[in-house]
Structure 1
Amino acid sequence: MNNFFQKITRNRLTIPFTPFYRRYPYRSGISINSADARGCIDTRLGFFCNRIPKAANSTIVENLARLSFGEDVPSKLAKKRFTVPSQLSRSEVDKVDIMFRFAVVRNPFTRTLSAYLDKVERRDRNAQRESNFFDFLQGLANGKLYSNAHWAPQHSLLLLPFDDFDFFGKVESLDSDLNHIRAKISGRPGAESIKTFKANATGAGKKLQEYYNEDTVGMVQELFHKDFELFEYSRELPA
């Protein structure tokens, strides 16, 4: 019960009144406490990464940790070592607009299936591909779309206005985009090899044809229509 009230207090009375959220109010469907945890900031190197779950999240944070801390740090620990937006002072918030601000996003078809495989099917041994995936999407359409950041629309997790971001990388071009990100941060393009971490990899990109049909394609197109538009993804299912 105490933990419950702590979350309520942070969501309603603490985080919204910190300097960052006074400057950049967060009004999306995910709780502000969960959204705040997606910020990954290094004021010394001058970058603001908006982490997106199920979009090469672990790979991104481990590579940023190598740049920031000069050592390999497991993703779960790395996420806790970075500053989050609610921890920024007023003077640090004033410097956000000169930081390199970026996020890495993913095709909504692949990301949604990856979230299902990781958070639903892995926990349900009786899951049956198409039927259970349809039920999952039906649940999202019936009010659960913002119940978990792993499948919430990617644009809803952005902590800054869309136009304030300098760069949106894509999982589909991760190697080149991650090199671009590192070059912008360190000024040394290709300085070191990309560290790849796939503990939560689901292989969703190779399973699209197994799980999608005409109905589920249409549901994802509707549920994530703004992600398709903002991040310039085709509404056609990848081959």
Structure 2
Amino acid sequence: MNRLQDRYQDHICIKPQPANSGRGNTARLRRWGVLHLALVACVLLFEIRALFLHFVGRWRAKRYRNQQRLRLQFGCGDNAKPGWVNIDLSPKADLQLDLRKSLPFADGSCECTYSEHFFEHLDYPDDALFFLRENFRVLAPGGLLTFGVPDAGSALEGYARATKGAPVTPFPGHPSWVRTRMDQINFLFRQNYICQIHQHRYAYDLETLELILADVGFSQIHQREFDPLLDSESRLNGTLYVSARKS
């Protein structure tokens, strides 16, 4: 429960009001209290569902127990790739797993792991680093880790260099309210999902990814080009793609 409270205390802020602020403020606080309870209930339901699906997913993963050279796609959503083990909480995934938990694959059983706009949804540092360590564990020596995240570094550089009033280059999925570069920064870093369960949890640049991947044990870490055979065309703009090898 403490973890859930920590996860969402940043999202629900009820400003203290003076004792004599009137009935209007009292009613407003009550409405915020109801909203708080609704969001907590939403989070609890999500966690219970994730726990159940992960339990079932681990049981279904037994079919891969003796297989080698697996290719895993994490956070596939509706974009399942043929020839890959597609993993998500989505019902369209081959395995429904909570990727904050250990992966049900043998050490060294995979030749490649991939994700696109998933890693930034993990809490940093705990869940994010645990996920990278699990990738390292299941990859065979020389195995490839490659993924894409929103390119926060380029967005911030663009904000710093931009002329006031210059047009904003839209990123994938930009809502209509993104009109200024500061709107863009806020959307890139947070985004607006119901219950805020699926919001971005951390923003990355190449320097940060190079550091944490090296800490986990990866080598040959570099930024790569967009791969039309692997990556989504809708993610072409605004995505930082990196690759690394298990030594």
Q: What TM-score comes out, normalization by structure 1 length?
A: 0.34
Judging by fraction of residues, say which structure has more helix.
1
Judging by fraction of residues, say which structure has more strand.
2
Q: What TM-score comes out, normalization by structure 2 length?
A: 0.33
Q: Which has the larger radius of gyration?
A: 2
Higher relative contact order (CA 8 A, sep 6+): 1
